[in-house]
Structure 1
Amino acid sequence: MNTSSPRSSERGFDSAHFRQALSQFATGVTVITTRLADGTFRGLTASSFNSVSLEPPLVLWSLSDKANSLPIFSGNSHYVINVLSAGQEELARLFSRRGLDPFASTDYELSRTGQPILKGVTAWFECHNRSRYPEGDHVIFVGEVEECAVHPQPALIFHGGQFGSTGKSQ
């Protein structure tokens, strides 16, 4: 007995409808930051962040396989996942734009390995770039958390194509 359903490409799958359905799931907003070998900082906005494991401490996030920053994050040994607070919507927009240096107008400090940690975030996770898995049109990054911090305050969320807030501190 075959209990599998037809693949999406075999059913004439509607990608726009799929995207609309996904937008109904509220997600946190993060900025992933890293430092290149030449000392330059790079970062991008991502809402695809999730915990994987407590032992060892693992988290994941994903990036389009067409992203210009894919080689940067694939090749670096460490990065920081910054969980944005409710007042950081403009920071989320800034790190999603191309051609700008968002670090020129952003307050940050450096982690013990020299990675940029954005100031004012509700939490951050410094990760060793443990593994990457290509799936569909994205690459899934799994990071082993080496250090993290929490600054309880309302978090920035994204739902239905708009930014919002959790509205309460943890």
Structure 2
Amino acid sequence: MDTTFDSKQFRGALSAFATGITVVTSRSADGKDFGLTATSFNSVSLDPPMVLWSLDCKSSNAAAFEQVDAFAVHILAAGQEHICKQFSTRGIDRFAGLDLTRGHGDVPVIQGCTAVFECRIAHRYQGGDHVIMVGEVLSFSTAPSDPLVFYRGKISGPFCTAEPEPELLRA
């Protein structure tokens, strides 16, 4: 197999996989909230309950996430495209106008999401140009709403309107 390839073509091929859009939030030791939009979210384990997400090493939030021991992953609902864009925009108060509560480690928790996972950082792994953050889930919540989805470079939703087949959930 040829190992040299165009990174834009590679990214395009990866975009063939539809993924939910998440916002990951945390709070620094000096009390500053921070967060970002991420599509690199995945389940890891049921026992213990664990999830992961990947952070670009060049992210303006990379240093802040190195210093914390807790985070929350918010799976955005179909009507929350504005939150996705807000957490992708530099130089603004990303938390302005949001309905927030506080979770484990005083981490900001955005209300109205399809699901929220409050985690303590269990592991950090270097993975090329990203850091893989593995979190042990301390608590979670869900809502009966369709997710906001990223597919082929575009945001879309609602995406899933049918009930999932039980056998697919066990795979």
- TM exceeding 0.5: yes
Q: 2:129 aligns with which of 129, 132, 137?
A: 137
Instruction: State the distance in 2 between where 1:149 and 1:114 align.
Output: 17
2:161 counterpart of 1:168: yes
Partner amino acid, structure 2, of 1:122 = T
Of structures 1 and 2, the larger Rg is shown by 1
The C-alpha deviation readout for 1:59-101, integer Å capped at 9, x for no partner, is 0000111112111112101000011000001110100111111
1:104 alignment partner AA: A
Query: Which residue does 1:105 correspond to in 2?
Result: 97
Displacement of 1:105 in angstroms is 2.0
1:64 maps to 56
SS in 2 for 1:102: coil
Aligned position for 1:94: 86
Q: Check whether the contact 2:55–2:130 (CA below 8 A) recurs between aligned residues.
A: yes
Partner in structure 1 of residue 17 of structure 2: 25
Which consecutive residues of structure 2, in runs of 5 or more, have no partner in the other structure? 164-171
After the TM superposition, which residues 117-156 of structure 1 pair with which residues of structure 2 at under 5 Å, given as runs? 117-156=109-148
Q: Point out where structure 1 has 5 or more consecutive residues left out of the alignment.
A: none
% identity of equivalent residues: 46
| Kept after mapping to 2: 8 A contact 1:152/1:169 | no
The one-letter amino acid of 1:16's match is: K
What secondary structure is seen at the aligned counterpart in 2 of 1:103? coil
- Equivalent-residue separation in structure 2 for 1:24 and 1:123 (angstroms): 23
Q: CA deviation at 1:29?
A: 0.4
Q: Note the C-alpha offset of 1:37.
A: 1.4
TM-score, normalization by structure 2: 0.90
1:159 equivalent to 2:133? Answer no
**Residue 19 to residue 88, structure 1, CA distance change in 2 (3 Å):** same
C-alpha separation between the residues in 1 aligned to 2:77 and 2:162?
10
The runs of at least 4 aligned residues of structure 1 exceeding 4 Å deviation read none
RMSD: 1.3
Aligned twin of 2:77: 85
Paired residue total: 162
Structure 2 CA distance, aligned partners of 1:62 and 1:76? 15
Stretch moving more, 117-126 or 107-116: 107-116
